[in-house]
Amino acid sequence: MGVPWTNKEVVYLLHRAGFGSTGEEVTACIALGHEETVRRLIAGEALIDQAPLLTPFDQLTADGKKSLDPLQLADQQMYWLYRMVYSSAPLIEKMTLFWHGHFATANYKVNDVTLMVQQNTLFRKYALGNFKELVLAIGKDPAMMIWLDVNRNKKGKPNENYAREAMELFTLGIGHYTETDVKEAARAFTGWTYDKKENKVVYNPKQHDNDTKTLLEETGKLDSDDVIEIIFHQKTLPIFLATKLLKYFATDSPSESWIQKVAEHISNKATLGEVLQELFLSDEFYEEKLRLSLIKTPADYVAGILKCCKLTVSKGHAQAMRRMGQELYSPPDVAGWRGGASWLNTSSLLSRYQFAESIAKQLNGKVLLSAEYTPEQQNRPEEWVKLWSQRIGITDLSDKTLQGLSTYADDTIIHTKQKNAGLRGLLQLVLISPEAQMK
* N-to-C CA span, the chain: 22
pLDDT surpassing 90 at residue 224: yes
Q: What was the pLDDT predicted at 1? A: 55
| Banded model confidence at residue 21, pLDDT cuts 50, 70, 90 | very high
Indicate whether 299 pLDDT > 80: yes
DSSP 395-422: ----HHHHHHHHHHHIIIIIT-S-HHHH
pLDDT digit string (tens) for 392-406? 999 999 999 999 999
Domain assignment present for residue 91? The answer is no
Q: What is the mean pLDDT of residues 50-71?
A: 90
pTM over cut 0.95: yes
pLDDT of res. 3: 87
Give domain status of residue 370, yes or no: yes
**Beta-bridge partners for 157:** 154
Residue type, 257: S
Q: Quote the percentage of the chain above a pLDDT of 70.
A: 100
Residue closest to 97 by CA, chosen among 279, 290, 303: 303
Q: Residue 364: pLDDT above 90?
A: no
**How much of the chain is in helix, strand and coil states, percent to nearest 5?**
60, 5, 35
Please report whether residue 427 resides in a domain: yes
Does the residue 425 lie in any domain? Answer: yes
Q: What percent of the chain has pLDDT over 90?
A: 94
Question: Is the pLDDT reported for residue 66 higher than 80?
Answer: no
Is 20 part of a structural domain of the chain? no
Mean pLDDT of 297-312: 96
Which domain does 378 fall in, by range? Answer: 298-437
**Count of the separate structural domains present in the chain:** 1
